[in-house]
């Protein structure tokens, strides 16, 4: 067996965890959050919404099924680092192309294993998400790692959507992945959807394509006029990293677009931006929601859905104007999970109906978006 390389995780509150390096050598700093998903580590690492965040996975065995080139949600790893309990000695899956440790090294991700992730998660739950530093290599230095974690400014006020967004418009034409078939091909498109890329996950775009949408992706800072030039049937507002509040460019474009009456659907950051554009406010949560097993209730039907979640900010229900109704709430903490405008065909969801990873039962929201476009077309 090859020699183990030491690594430490030092939280801003001074807690030190000693473990081993399973990724690149060096150090990384970010907001430490915990995710309770059992599978989907590759989708999590490549989700742009995790920019500037170090993810700890509460499930103890991570890496069991290796990594491959298909299960990615973007073109690279965005998470600032990875913390796990135990990396299995051997990965095993017919789709695996590379083990997790080699994948992390190849993608220059600093990562630590063999630490007590239950203790870490209890600290994050009690004190809230906080900054941390992983240092990996022969010369780990606790004092330096603590100073580095103190240098992290925090996510509040950070406008990251425009940093991770694409720079040029592009067409996305790949459908959902199916076992034995791979990614679906575009057949005929009934609707043209313009999707704002604030850090979009690919499976969202795939689910739109699979439902008969021609998808044009626009940079986060594209204006309403640029979007309208495509004569879209629908506007999609993507997920993305950072604080929604400073994204004034997006908020003003969304205001104009929603007013046109074109059906609009937002997910996660896109949901928070729709809330802001409608006059509500957002807040930073204590430790957020990150996982694939969160119960959310549809307030009208009372039906409970098990959902995928990844957010640290939320729209504040106390600030919703009269033309915004609450459609979904979290059954973990009562926080706001979905809204709909009562005066326009615009709605949004705080969790991840595209799953990836996670349960797929919230995919009904994509069908609702299609239905809104269908209704407007047939007027």
Annotated binding site for L-glutamine: 49, 240, 242, 269, 272, 310, 312-313
Question: Of these, 67, 239, 308, 348, which contacts ligand GLN (CB under 6 A)?
Answer: 239
Question: Of these, 269, 280, 315, 320, which contacts ligand GLN (CB under 6 A)?
Answer: 269
N-terminal to C-terminal alpha carbon distance within the chain: 68
Nearer to ligand GLN, 44 or 209 (CB): 44
Binding mask 310-329 for ligand GLN (x = CB under 6 A): xxxx----------------
Q: In the complex, what is the shortest distance from the CB of residue 164 to ligand GLN, in angstroms, rounded to a whole number?
A: 10
Nearer to ligand GLN, 124 or 135 (CB): 124
Binding mask 36-75 for ligand GLN (x = CB under 6 A): -------------x--------------------------
Nearer to ligand GLN, 311 or 328 (CB): 311
Question: 263 by DSSP, 3-state: which?
Answer: coil
Residue 354 is among the residues annotated as catalytic for this protein = yes
Per CB under 6 A, the segment of 80-88, 165-173, 307-315, 334-342 that binds ligand GLN is 307-315
Question: Is 94 exposed, middle or buried, given 0-12, 13-18 or 19+ CB atoms closer than 10 A?
Answer: exposed
Report the interhelical angle of 269-277 vs 248-259 (nearest 10°): 70
Q: In the complex, what is the shortest distance from the CB of residue 242 to ligand GLN, in angstroms, rounded to a whole number?
A: 5
**CB–CB of 311/291 below 8 Å?**
no
Per CB under 6 A, the segment of 15-23, 64-72, 116-124, 236-244 that binds ligand GLN is 236-244
Nearer to ligand GLN, 227 or 269 (CB): 269
Per CB under 6 A, the segment of 145-153, 219-227, 306-314, 319-327 that binds ligand GLN is 306-314
Residue ranges of the annotated binding site are 49, 240, 242, 269, 272, 310, 312-313
Nearer to ligand GLN, 241 or 345 (CB): 241
Question: Of these, 66, 219, 234, 241, which contacts ligand GLN (CB under 6 A)?
Answer: 241
Q: How far apart are CA 191 and CA 38, in angstroms?
A: 35
Residue 268 is among the residues annotated as catalytic for this protein = yes
Q: What is the DSSP letter of 3?
A: P
Q: In the complex, what is the shortest distance from the CB of residue 161 to ligand GLN, in angstroms, rounded to a whole number?
A: 8
The angle formed by the CA atoms of residues 87, 113 and 160, to the nearest 5 degrees, is: 110
Cα-flanking dihedrals φ and ψ of residue 371, to 5°? -60, -40
Q: Where are the beta strands (DSSP E) in the chain?
A: 6-11, 16-21, 26-35, 53-57, 81-83, 111-113, 130-136, 170-172, 174-178, 182-185, 191-197, 213-219, 234-237, 264-267, 282-298, 304-315, 324-330, 336-341, 346-349
Please confirm whether the linkage preceding 357 is cis (ω < 30° from 0): yes
**CB–CB of 57/81 below 8 Å?**
no
Q: Does 21 bind ligand GLN (CB under 6 A)?
A: no
Q: In the complex, what is the shortest distance from the CB of residue 268 to ligand GLN, in angstroms, rounded to a whole number?
A: 3
Q: How far apart are CA 317 and CA 54, in angstroms?
A: 28
Q: Indicate which residue of 268, 271, 294, 311 is catalytic.
A: 268
Residue 52 is among the residues annotated as catalytic for this protein = no
Cα-flanking dihedrals φ and ψ of residue 171, to 5°? -95, 140
Q: So which residues are the catalytic ones?
A: 268, 352, 354
For ligand GLN, the binding residues (CB under 6 A) are 49, 239-242, 268-269, 310-313
């Amino acid at each position: 067996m090859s020699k183990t390389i030491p690594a430490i995780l030092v939280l801003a509150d001074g807690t030190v965890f000693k473990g081993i390096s399973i990724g690149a050598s060096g150090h990384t700093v970010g907001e430490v959050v915990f995710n309770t998903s059992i599978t989907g580590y590759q989708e999590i690492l490549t989700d742009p919404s995790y920019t500037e965040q170090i993810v700890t996975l509460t499930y103890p065995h991570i890496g069991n099924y290796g990594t491959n080139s298909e299960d990615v949600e973007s073109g690279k790893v965005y998470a600032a680092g990875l913390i796990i309990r135990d990396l299995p000695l051997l990965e095993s899956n017919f789709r695996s192309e590379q083990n997790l440790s080699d994948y992390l090294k190849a993608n220059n991700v600093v990562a630590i294993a063999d630490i007590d992730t239950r203790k870490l998660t209890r600290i994050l739950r009690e004190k809230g998400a906080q900054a941390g530093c992983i240092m990996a290599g022969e010369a780990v230095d606790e004092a330096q790692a603590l100073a580095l974690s103190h240098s992290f400014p925090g996510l509040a006020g950070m406008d990251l959507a425009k940093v991770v967004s694409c720079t040029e418009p592009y067409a996305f034409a790949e459908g959902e992945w199916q076992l034995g078939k791979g990614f679906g091909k575009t057949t005929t498109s009934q609707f043209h959807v313009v999707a704002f890329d604030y850090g979009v996950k690919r499976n969202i775009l795939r689910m739109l394509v699979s439902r008969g949408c021609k998808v044009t992706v626009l940079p986060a800072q594209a204006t309403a006029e640029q979007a309208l030039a495509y004569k879209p049937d629908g506007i999609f507002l993507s997920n993305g990293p950072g604080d929604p509040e400073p994204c004034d460019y997006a908020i003003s474009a969304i205001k104009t677009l929603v007013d046109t009456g074109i059906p609009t659907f937002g997910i996660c950051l896109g949901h928070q931006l729709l809330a802001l554009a409608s006059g509500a406010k957002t807040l930073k949560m204590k430790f957020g929601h990150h996982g694939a097993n969160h119960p959310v209730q549809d307030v009208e039907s009372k039906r409970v859905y098990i959902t995928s979640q990844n957010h640290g900010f939320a729209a504040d229900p106390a600030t919703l104007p009269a033309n915004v109704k609450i459609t979904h709430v979290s059954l973990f903490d009562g926080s706001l999970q979905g809204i709909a405008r009562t005066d326009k065909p615009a709605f949004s969801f705080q969790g991840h109906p595209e799953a990836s990873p996670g349960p797929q039962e919230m995919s009904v929201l994509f069908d609702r978006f299609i239905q809104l476009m269908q209704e407007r077309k047939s007027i």
